[in-house]
Chain A
Amino acid sequence: MTEGMRLRLAVIGRLGRGLLPYLLSFLVAFAVVGLVLALLGFDVWRAYRTILGTSFRTSNGFVQTLIKWIPIVLQALAFTVPLVAGKFNIGGEGQMIVGAIGAAAVGILLADLPLPILLPLLLLTGVLCGMLWVLGPAWLLYRFGVNEILTTVLLNFTAFELIDFVATKIWADPRAGHPTTVAIGAGGMLPLLVTRPPLHSGLLIALAIVIIVYVYTHHTAVGYELLATGANPRAARVFGLPVRRLFLFSLLFGGALAGLSGAIEVAGVHGRLIAGLQSNFLLLGIITGLIAKGNNAAVPFVAFFIAVLEVGASALQRTMAIPGEMTFIVEALILIFVLLNDVVRRYRS
């Protein structure tokens, strides 16, 4: 065996040991859900093929998966960036909604501006609005030490009312049967990368964000300060890090990402503001972040897997009448089993 081969094998071995728990969790979760489906009298193999294969069988399925991946990965990072500093941002949903409202407002009020001006302005407004929505909880944490979990989550419910107000009272589209605003200007729409099936260029933005966040948390000194704060706030304070300011900053960073996800939904998917556009992306994002154990390098891959499951789930509901919530159980089980692997490892060491 040559030196190079041995090295390669060592790398593969290390990667394998890292991935093995995920693979096991995945298998066990699917086995459990398969058992339940079998007991309910469904064709289990067909269900498996549908849930995992829909994304890869047609180009439409694949594009659908990519389009879902964008908000999931952004919501996941909106959760994991504060998590690196040890803070829980459960308000990504509200930040996304308010980001979408800001983006739609710009797109509607300045509808006549040309694309090179309107689109960046729209996305930037989304980012700022997302930050604005988390500013309250972040400041209360910074100034008074108020627990951020509750304040961020309560602002989600507040945002539901806000989007309903904007979509029914301010720029309501009277022809829509559901709270919806009129369309934004054509210059506010993200250009398509592929036209059939349509794939918008928000994908490139999300990819850029993924790389930026990864480099920031893994390869910069400021990112390391965030990590040190999350690992041991007391030690970080002793070493002179501005711990509370880092908390504030990490939450604002998360809010910016969530706000951007809302703006992209408006500019890329809907072209207008629709109540309910937040879907369940917050929960999927949190699940993604937790399955990835807060590791920003793993988040994009886990997010892709979750997107595959989600696209499979809607196909499952359409073709086999299996409720889409089934995937939620799969995801929660995978999360629990991934966490269990850590426990097993702790006992063995």
Chain B
Amino acid sequence: MTNSPWINFAGLVMLAIVPYVLAAQGTMLAGRTGLFIVAQEGIMLVGASVGFLGAYHFQNLAAGLGLALLVGGLFGLILAYFTTTLKMDQFVVGLAVFFLGLGLSNLLFKIVIGITLQPPRIPTLKAWSVPFLADIPILGPILFRQNGLVYFSILLSFFLYYVLYYTGTGLALRATGENPKAADSLGVHVTRYRYVTAIFGGMLMALAGAFLPMVYTGTYTDGIVRGRGWLAIALTFFGGWKPHTILLGSFFFAGVEILALRVQVTAIGLPHQFLRMLPYLGTILVMTLAFRGARPPAFLGQNYDRESRTTSS
């Protein structure tokens, strides 16, 4: 039973949710204070590049992860500064930062590694079996024989759920994205919340990117993110901007991804190119059918100006 293809499939899905969960929770977190980030794809690329280079240079995966977190936080800070302090259009700044990430990721790789036919490799992150729990039949191999980032992304989702809905900080944070004027009048430091969530959001996105070379490929290529950043935005909407439903929704995204890969291998006559379209087309379908009930934060995408008279700028 332990080696059945279904268990194998479920285990792979558990692994594949990680980049989606991390990037989408980052998007959600910043969005809950009203900052709509659209630079996920770029920040994930930088995270993948820097994470790989750090791990390669120091021969240490933790160093790579740390470096990716640092750079991701920096990108979040840039986003927050341009939108919250300078009050520039969030979409335009997001696109600019996306470009910056796109250029920087390949540039850094080429500067450090150079142009090679045989890219250098790093050891991939090892799975860690949770004592006792890993031996449970069926559930054990699926849930408890994964790498640390899998556990982290799931625990993070629960943690964010707790913070958002059961603490005063979470209440203030949510209020910032719903009605910053009202929150401000009650003494909530709107700007500080936006900065902090943007930085955390950027870190999570970069971590999502760093996951890809450290778990999947062992090396960096410029096509490594393949739209997962954009899919993470879709997942955030799909999950209704709530941490727990985002975690649930990620299984759909990861499931389609793994399914497309799987069917490709077993080949059922359909050209593999069409199977690889599935995640993108599936997402568009889901957006059409499932998004209409989901309500994003009321102030999403707008900058807050203390001195303006109207509540919505």
Contact = CB atoms under 8 A, between A and B. Distances in A.
Interface of A: 40, 88, 136-137, 140, 144-147, 149-151, 153-158, 161-162, 164-165, 169, 283, 286-287, 290, 323, 325-329, 331-333, 335-336, 339-340, 342-343, 346
Contacts of B107: 323, 325-326, 328-329
A330 B150 CA distance: 37
Contacts of A290: 92, 95-96
A323 B111 contact: yes
Give the 3 A-B residue pairs with the shortest CB-CB distance, closest first. Answer: A328-B103, A325-B107, A165-B273
Question: By CB atoms of chain B within 10 A, which of A88, A144, A150, A340 has the most?
Answer: A150
Nearest to B276: A161
A323 B110 contact: yes
A323 B230 contact: no
B102 interface: yes
Given A154-B284, A290-B92, 13 more contacts: A88-B91, A136-B284, A153-B230, A154-B230, A154-B283, A161-B276, A286-B99, A290-B95, A325-B103, A326-B103, A327-B103, A329-B107, A332-B99
Interface in B80-115: 82, 86-89, 91-93, 95-96, 99-100, 102-104, 106-107, 110-111
16 contacts: A88-B91, A140-B287, A146-B287, A146-B291, A147-B287, A147-B291, A150-B233, A157-B277, A169-B271, A287-B99, A326-B107, A328-B99, A329-B103, A331-B99, A332-B100, A332-B103
Q: Give the size range of B's interface with the partner.
A: 35 or more
Given A150-B234, A329-B104, A343-B86, A40 B111 contact: yes
A140 B283 CA distance: 13
Contact of A165 (B86, B230, B274): B274
Contacts of A339: 82, 88-89, 92-93, 96
B284 A283 contact: no
Nearest to A88: B91
B288 to A, nearest CB: 5
B281 A158 contact: yes
Nearest to B99: A332
A155 B287 CA distance: 13
Nearest to A149: B38
Contacts of A326: 103, 107
A246 to B, nearest CB: 19
Contacts of A140: 284, 287-288
Nearest to B233: A150
B237 interface: yes
A43 to B, nearest CB: 16
A144 B271 contact: no
A147 B91 CA distance: 13
A325 B95 CA distance: 17
Interface string B222-238: 00001100110110010
Given A140-B288, A155-B280, A332 B96 contact: yes
B262 interface: no
Contacts of A149: 38, 91
Contacts of B110: 323, 325
A104 B274 CA distance: 20
Contact of B284 (A151, A161, A164, A328): A151
B95 A286 contact: yes
B57 interface: no
A161 B91 CA distance: 27
A149 B41 CA distance: 13
B292 interface: yes
A41 B107 CA distance: 15
A147 B280 contact: no
A333 B283 CA distance: 32
B41 to A, nearest CB: 9
Contacts of B106: 323, 325
B63 to A, nearest CB: 22
A140 B82 CA distance: 32
A158 B285 CA distance: 13
Contacts of A157: 226-227, 277, 280
Nearest to A154: B280
A158 B283 CA distance: 11
A336 B237 CA distance: 28
A332 B86 CA distance: 17
Interface string B67-86: 00000000000000010001
Contacts of A155: 280, 284
B96 A146 contact: no
A35 B283 CA distance: 43
Contacts of B103: 325-329, 331-332
Interface string B43-54: 000000000000
Contact of B231 (A154, A286, A331, A332): A154
A283 B99 contact: yes
Interface in B234-260: 234, 237
Nearest to A291: B96
A161 B287 contact: no
A313 to B, nearest CB: 11
A58 to B, nearest CB: 26
Nearest to B41: A153
A154 B288 CA distance: 13
A162 B276 CA distance: 10
A154 B234 contact: yes
A332 B235 CA distance: 27
A335 B230 contact: no
Contacts of A329: 100, 103-104, 107
A150 B288 CA distance: 11
A175 B92 CA distance: 44
B271 A165 contact: yes
